[in-house]
Amino acid sequence: METTLKTEREATDEEDACKTGSPVKTEKGIGSSDTIPAALSIKMERESDGNDNQGEESINPVDKITSLKTLGPFIASKDNTRNTRYISDVPEICLREPCMLGVDEAGRGPVLGPMVYGIAYCPLNSKQILTDLGCADSKELTEEKRDVIFDNINTQPYACSCIGWAVEIISPNVISNNMLGRKKCSLNEISMTAAIDLIHAALEAGVNIAEVYVDTVGPPEKYQEKLQKIFPQFQITVAKKADSTFPIVSAASICAKVTRDHSLKVWQFPEGLNLTSKDFGSGYPGDPITRKFLSENVNYIFGFPRIVRFSWSTAENALSETACLVEFDEPDSEKPKYAGPKLTKFFQSTRKNGEVQREQCRLLKERFLDSVVDF
């Protein structure tokens, strides 16, 4: 049974503020009494789940993410063998005032599950709201803290009236196919493409972007130069550890990390495996639960389920030890060499006197025979 911690009037006021984008006081931070109900509500929802799949998400499909509670069902309703993109409603103020936009990812290193790219944006003069929310590097926050901040971004009027976000859930199946295909695409290229596409998506949604902050992939100078050529109208900053330096990047990092965590919690195996996230762990190669999953779920012919990134060395090593060895014919890199005479050899030019210049047939030459035309 769900416990309602807000009065009906309060819930209505908050919903109206989110829809209209009306200005709200920004002094309500993550540690204030106004945000305690959200954290307590999340905790009570987790504790109230008394079934065997405690902690797993409900999978009733939804078409819009309005809170942490609707994130899992939305993801579960999508095909996890393909990429999924979600863009939140754009606050009205972000259409008018110049905004800063942050970009970051989650799940770059794991051997299991998707990699998620996220963006967050808000007006330049709303930076204090990010601090009040408690935005910091998502890797430094506990899972519960990240969940609370994500929920507040989507439900608290002072946040949802000026902060928007979007994510690209990059399927492990897509990652493997790109990295192992004949026309190979590196993880860095996949990452940069996702970041660029999300910035384009924000522009198409009407966000008035002025500044862009990105957590780097590879050398920051080259990445920044590439982005500056694509988006010359923006002030772009690409830096290492940007998620711990710029609050707007931290907000993007939190959105990406929470989305990845819940993607694993609601993962459905098209192969028919009846497993939960407790059975495969965090997805990182160093996790003993993940290693156990890899060793116990190898099909001798078809390999791993599609939650596994086949292109990772951890997966390749496990396959080489337990799966069937398969050899594929690679296309020849060089043109085939033909041992016989070229066809053009039989159509050589004529001499000046008009005689056709042809080389004697090999059969006659080897037997010392001549062609006789006059008898």
How many CB atoms are located within 10 Å of the residue 89 CB? 16
- Smallest Cα–Cα separation from 144: which of 60, 41, 235? 41
Q: How far is CA 74 from the centre of its chain?
A: 16
Beta-bridge partners for 103: 119, 214
Q: Cα-Cα-Cα-Cα dihedral of 121, 126, 130, 131, to 10°?
A: 150
Distance between CA atoms of residues 155 and 11, nearest Å: 10
Q: Could you list the residues known to form a binding site for a divalent metal cation, using ranges.
A: 104-105, 215
Tokens 């109208």 sit on residue: 233
- Smallest Cα–Cα separation from 111: which of 318, 320, 298, 308? 308
Distance between CA atoms of residues 179 and 323, nearest Å: 20
Distance between CA atoms of residues 168 and 251, nearest Å: 15
Two tokens, residue 375: 């008898």
Q: Could you list the residues known to form a binding site, using ranges.
A: 104-105, 215
